[in-house]
Structure 1
Amino acid sequence: MTATAKPTHLEGGTELDAFVDDHDVALVECYTRGCSKCQAMEPVLGNVARATGIPIGLVNPGDDIELLERLEISSVPTLLLYEDGTEIARRAEGFIGGDVVVDFLEEHVPAAVDHA
């Protein structure tokens, strides 16, 4: 499993589906433009990607009502954790720190977290 140091920006549902399908485990942040908490999460998620080796994607479902409904997003930022293409967990609590995100990953996909 190869992760980049920076989260991958995904344009819509098709790119989201491809990203999730390309990785055994993937974390996706749903955000909207103008959301300061969402913007603050991006560098945190970059650090998490480097620390854990888990690929992280960022998608803005705000412009895509079908995607918004499909993902059942009611607030942002929302973190969606996927394993083998299926959502297995989510967090929608606003801004959270890197340690909390890592704990979330270790709780749900401990074998996938690379403590390099």
Structure 2
Amino acid sequence: MTTSDPDRPVTIRTRAELDEYLTESDRVLVMVRTEGCAICQSMEPILDNVVRATDATVLVFNPREDLDAVAAFDVRSTPTFLLFVDGELVDRRADGFVPTAALVEFVEDG
């Protein structure tokens, strides 16, 4: 697993890295993003807030190196938020910018 600052989202690049986090964390929020996505960039401080407000592991995934993950999770736009609980995908959002309170609620209620 990638060593990281626990107060910041962790950037991953492959499905294998994602799978490792899913086996080690009970609740994982993944933001699937692409380079140059302005909304994705605007979500970065929101993700920092989610890290501080919840016990979820927060990952940022640019699947450019692992395009099979895009198909596996049916990602059609960015950002897409995937919520995993106990290793299982339980919810998703792909509706653009999400304010802190709404994203925290998504993580906690999922």
* 1:63 CA drift (Å): 4.1
Over the matched positions of the two proteins, sequence identity in percent amounts to 37
- Match of residue 102, structure 1, among 97, 104, 108: 104
Q: What's the CA shift for 1:44?
A: 0.5
Question: Are residues 1:49 and 2:56 paired?
Answer: no
Deviates more, 1:32-41 or 1:56-65: 56-65
Partner in structure 2 of residue 22 of structure 1: 24
Pairing 1:81–2:83 present: yes
Quote the Cα distance in structure 1 between the aligned partners of 2:65 and 2:76.
14
- TM-score, normalised via structure 1 length: 0.85
- Establish whether residue 60 from structure 1 lines up as the match of residue 72 from structure 2: no
Runs of 4+ displaced beyond 2 Å:
62-65
- State the number of aligned residues: 106
- TM-score, length-normalised on structure 2? 0.90
Distance 1:32 1:52 in 2: 25
Q: Whole-Å Cα distance in 2 between the matches of residues 65 and 105 of structure 1?
A: 25
Structure 2, gaps ≥5 residues long: none
1:82–1:88 contact (8 Å) kept in structure 2: yes
1:4, distance to aligned residue in structure 2 (A)? 1.6
Q: Distance in 1 between matches of 2:64 and 2:38?
A: 15
Q: Is the Cα–Cα contact under 8 Å of residues 13 and 64 in structure 2 kept in the other structure?
A: no
Aligned counterpart for 1:39 among listed residues 11, 33, 41: 41
The answer (yes or no) to whether the contact 2:22–2:87 under 8 Å persists in 1 is yes
